[in-house]
Structure 1
Amino acid sequence: MTTIAHDASTPGMRNRWLKDAAGGRDGAVGLLLLDTLAAVGFAGGIAGAVAAVAGRGALWPWALLMVGMGALRGLFAMLAVRRGAARAGMIKRAQRRRVVAATRAVVKLLLGAHKLKPGVAITGGDPLEIEDQIKMGRHAVETDADVLHLEYRTGSNPALTGITMFLPRDGRCHIQSGCRLWVSKAGNRGLILPQDHVRGHFRLAPREIVHIDGKPAADLSEGIERASTWLTRQVMRPGVQYDDAQCTLWAQAA
């Protein structure tokens, strides 16, 4: 437990400690600290009331202290919960903005100067469980649209961890999971690599996802690493913006 004692610390150091203890800019921890102080006052009111009854002293000052401190405790706790919820909402919105930015960056890399047309849908979010994959496959068949789902690691720093494709052909949906993004040495061409046992690779066209025989290079690992580095650089670039018309972004997979 950190305490402030009579030591050689400067007033500035003690002020910084108090700011940290109060939660800095967030304030939720500071409100909880005030709630603790109010709890001490409430307990003092109870002790004073017990002593007043035993000694036949005035009870009303202690009762007033108890009521006041109790009300303050409720107020501080409520404000702390609201502040914490607001903070959590801000973090969630920031994570979503980064996922959206990463998704648009990938679409821009895969399409180049082309625009996405009806026939292809792009989704971005958590990895899909088997039930979600079945639902997405049915939706792809019903709408006759290829679906490209970008899977992200959740947390304060989302990262692309995989790609799943849903390709409706002749009334059936072919699912390619565990795919990876590949970038050429020039950095101007992005392709989708399936799992190692699947032949060829995939290219995103404006109206469909196209399967192409053969691999884009003999050594695929360097292209995969380039893709990871490129995506991180694009998302972290200040003021990055992408044309909304370049992708149809679904907030949640159907």
Structure 2
Amino acid sequence: MSTGTALVRAPSSRLAEGIVTHIARTPVDVDLARRQHDAYRAALADAGWSTVDVPPADDCPDSVFVEDTLVVCGDLAIVTRPGAPERRGEIPGARAAAESLLLDVVEIEAPGTLDGGDVLQVGDRVYVGVGGRTNQAGFDQLATHLAGRGRTATPVALHGVLHLKSAVTALPDGTLVALPNLVDIQALPQLLPVEEEGGAHVVLLGEERVLIAASAPRTADLIHRLGFAPVVVDISEYEKLEGCVTCLSVLVPPIS
């Protein structure tokens, strides 16, 4: 039985031109990035997720980072309005993918901006990074949509980081792993600090499995010692573009 559906999007041939904001630009090996994306998809499939391709957007260098275009909460898909205007060409394909899954689809509207990488769902609480790609109007619209699904949204100020989930994500028991100097910790419950940047980014695959980047071996060991099962993938070429394991998919669990 499938764990759910994982939306993914093939890397653009222009991937190396992707936006970098807080790090220096370094060369990206697009062929290696494609192989890494194949391995990422295989890891999702091995964990029971059925991968579905979002229509490609080859003219959009950052389109592989599909997480930024959709926020899924139960049977609701919120189509975002990316904070970087050059990424808005990614939206039509993301909307079409959500509609193909028969989700209820709503949209963030101007002047709101919202990147899915700023949205961390932990049970009924949703933490939203504000001040980077996501603005207050985008947060307000998201909070209204989520309230209709019984979720409470909390804004979190960011400090020199692209997205909230670039700095903090949650383990299966709700523990937040984080780089605490990059976010307003007053808005968050107690954090488990990690030293490796890639250690702050995890994806929950179900049955205690936790997807984590190969760049964070010490954090993967910590996750193992906490009783979870790390699933390690190499995403080095995406990390050169401020990407992480969360960015490359949108997980849609079965709707009960």
TM bracket (short chain): under 0.3
Work out which structure has the larger RCO, using CA pairs closer than 8 Å and 6 or more positions apart in sequence. 2
TM-score calculated relative to the size of structure 2: 0.24
Name whichever structure is richer in helix by fraction: 1
TM-score, length basis structure 1: 0.25
